[in-house]
Structure 1
Amino acid sequence: MPDDSTHGFQAGQTGLIVRIPDAEPAVRTWRERFDPSARAGVPAHITVLFPFLDESRIDARVRSALTDVFSRHHAFDLRFASCGRFPGVLYLAPEPDTPVRRLTEAIADRWPEAPPYGGKFTDVVPHLTLADGQDDAALEEIEAGLLGALPFTSRVSSVDLMVHNGTRWQVRASFALRA
């Protein structure tokens, strides 16, 4: 989930993601080797918002508000046909990325105290991380290994609340998008 350069996941951290199960056959092996979030239990996904509220703040009122926010957004399809890069990071780029951006904006507007990535970036780029903290040679190897697996399409119909328990990330709740 988080593209956290320290990879220091903490108990009680939460994040909101859209799972991309259709990516798993193509990316699982790469993510398990090169993405710390995969080794910590996070499935192939696109982050909607990380970090979200601390787990201690997630109560019935927050869950109700999440249900309300997400139910205003329609389910959508994403196509994955190409890779992109940040420094040390290789990712799959979703097309179109506008529906994910709208989800992020809606949550950030509702909870301004939880800006995406802690406010580190002015432009949040939706992406499915394949490798994090790797050199260019590793990123090139992964990208070449994915050529035969692209493109694919995945339906997004819900957003998951993930919580770190001190050891692993776990799904705590799932919020449906409008059909």
Structure 2
Amino acid sequence: MADDDFHGFHAGQSGLIVRVPAAEPAVRAWRGRLDPSARVGVPAHVTVLFPFLDASRIDQGVCTAIGEVLDRHQSFEVRFERCGRFPGVLYLAPEPDTPFRRLTEAFVARWPENPPFDGQFDDVVPHLTVAQGQDEDVLEKAEADLLGRLPVVAHVSSVDLLVHDGTRWRQRGSFPLR
């Protein structure tokens, strides 16, 4: 869920993600060692919107609105066939990435006060983070291993709402796509 500048999780933060359980066998060991979000309860995923609303603002009305946004989007298949990089970050690249971009755009249109990653990036690239904050040699080793474990194919049928309780990320809801 987090990228370089978002390691300082705090109670009440929330985010919307697409879980990718099919990727867990390929990425679990690397994420457990090299991705701080994995160590605090975040599963293999593609971020849809982080940060989302503060947990104190999430009520039944917000949950209903999340469902309404998702009702306009169909479930889809995605493949992870290659790795990509940001500075200090190794990730799996979803193909196609357009459905993830559309989900993010739809949530930002509904909650414009919550731009992805606090508006830090001009182009929000959908990705499944495997390692972050690592030296190049560590990323190269992880990537070489991952390439032998790809492709990963997944069916995306829901978006999960996660909330940080001050120690770990917990699922607060799961919302189906049409």
Could you state the TM-score of these two structures normalised by the residue count of structure 2? 0.99
Aligned to 1:14: 14
- How do 1:28-177 and structure 2 match up within 5 A? 28-177=28-177
Could you say what secondary structure the match of 2:37 adopts? helix
In the TM superposition, what is the alpha-carbon distance from 1:116 to its structure 2 partner? 0.4
Could you say what secondary structure the match of 2:90 adopts? strand
Task: Give the number of equivalent residue pairs.
Answer: 178
Distance 1:100 1:6, change over 3 A: closer
Unaligned runs of 5+ in 1: none
Question: Does the 8 Å contact 1:5/1:133 carry over to 2?
Answer: no
**Whole-Å separation in 2 of the counterparts to 1:59 and 1:24:** 31
Distance 1:156 1:140, change over 3 A: same
**Whole-Å separation in 1 of the counterparts to 2:6 and 2:97:** 26
In the TM superposition, what is the alpha-carbon distance from 1:46 to its structure 2 partner? 0.2
Question: Does the 8 Å contact 1:161/1:174 carry over to 2?
Answer: yes
Amino acid at match of 1:107: F
Amino acid at match of 1:67: G
Amino acid at match of 2:26: A
Unaligned runs of 5+ in 2: none
Identity of aligned residues (%): 69
Amino acid at match of 2:107: I
Structure 1: 4+ residue segments shifted above 6 A: none
Amino acid at match of 2:67: T
**Whole-Å separation in 2 of the counterparts to 1:133 and 1:6:** 11
In the TM superposition, what is the alpha-carbon distance from 1:147 to its structure 2 partner? 1.9
CA offsets per residue over residues 75-120 of structure 1, 9 Å max, x none?
0011000000000000000000000000000000000000000000
Could you say what secondary structure the match of 1:117 adopts? helix
In the TM superposition, what is the alpha-carbon distance from 1:5 to its structure 2 partner? 2.2
Question: Does the 8 Å contact 1:19/1:46 carry over to 2?
Answer: yes
